[in-house]
Amino acid sequence: MYDIIGNTSIYDVLLVAAVSLQSLCAAYLYRPEWKAVMLLLPIPFTIAALAVGKEIGISNLTGLVFLLLYAKGQWVFHQRFKVPIIAAIALSALGYCVSAVVLLPFLPQEPWAFWVGFVAVIVLACLILNRFTVSTKPGFRTTRPLWVKVPAIVLVVLLLVSIKRYLQGFMTVFPMVGVITSYESRFSLGTIYSRMPIIMLTLGPMMGTCFLFQKTLGLPRLWESTG
């Protein structure tokens, strides 16, 4: 990949731009259901996978489970324990990153592990989705100006880019857009959490397709020659 500043690649720049734009769209939407739809778009995953420069594997799938735990964690912190929303988001994001770094060296990299993980993620998502009863929550549209919101979004993504080599596949599903959406949906976190199984059911098969065809399409050679 072409270096821009140090180890920063063109994909890192595209990731910052894409996440910033998607987060802004989510921030200025009113209904929590539409904010949640923004989380379903796989744009950050796709660009982050290129930025990390690793084949799709078990860490990407495990990240989907961590994404679910992130959403549940911030809901518990904020709704149950009355932790301020920014602190709840920070604690959940920190838990995601620390857990990823600790677990990553112990994940098996064999193909069988990926497909076992794939089945487990799909089954877990279906079980959780079947138990959800989502109530109507109030909408909210940000009132903060762009000159305040854009730097905050860019700072979050740049922080992730700086530690991507530690997160590897986990970075591709880290809730980059979700961090901003969670703050803007602080009055309806249950609605956001209820969409996590849907994200698992959409991104899971996408990862499975990538896993099947990434060697055939020559993506590893592309990454090796440009990484």
Task: Identify the band that residue 138 occupies on the pLDDT scale cut at 50, 70 and 90.
Answer: low
pLDDT of the residue at 51: 86
53: left (phi over 0), alpha (psi -120 to 50) or beta: left
pLDDT of the residue at 152: 73
Using alpha carbons, list the distances in angstroms from residue 4 to 9, 12, 153, 157: 6, 9, 20, 16
pLDDT of 99 higher than 90: yes
The tokens describing 37, both together, are 């739809």
pLDDT of the residue at 224: 44
Q: At what angle do helices 58-75 and 196-213 cross, to 10 degrees?
A: 170
pLDDT of 59 higher than 90: yes
pLDDT of 23 higher than 90: no
The 3-state DSSP class for residue 4 equals strand
pLDDT of the residue at 27: 73
Instruction: Write out pLDDT tens, residues 141-185.
Output: 555 666 666 787 778 778 877 888 889 999 999 988 877 777 777
Q: Which helix (H) or strand (E) holds 201?
A: helix 196-213
- DSSP string across 82-130: ---HHHHHHHHHHHHHHHHHHHGGGS--SHHHHHHHHHHHHHHHHHHHH
**Mean local confidence (pLDDT), 194-199:** 86
- DSSP string across 53-68: T----HHHHHHHHHHH
The 3-state DSSP class for residue 207 equals helix
Could you tell me the sign of the dihedral formed by the alpha carbons of 78, 200, 163, 181, in that order? negative
The 3-state DSSP class for residue 9 equals strand
pLDDT of 225 higher than 70: no
Q: Which helix (H) or strand (E) holds 3?
A: strand 3-5
Which residues, listed in sequence order, are joined to residue 9 by a DSSP beta bridge?
3
Q: In whole numbers, what is the pLDDT of the chain averaged over residues? A: 81
The tokens describing 153, both together, are 């979004």
Instruction: Write out pLDDT tens, residues 30-55.
Output: 776 777 777 778 888 989 998 888 88
Could you tell me the sign of the dihedral formed by the alpha carbons of 150, 154, 155, 156, in that order? positive
Domain residue ranges in the chain: 3-226
Give the single-character DSSP code of 136.
P
pLDDT of the residue at 201: 93
Rounded Cα distance between 108 and 115, Å, is 11
Across 8-67, the runs of DSSP E, i.e. the strands, are 8-9
Which residues, 6 or more positions from 143, have their beta carbon under 8 angstroms from its beta carbon?
none
pLDDT of 134 higher than 50: yes
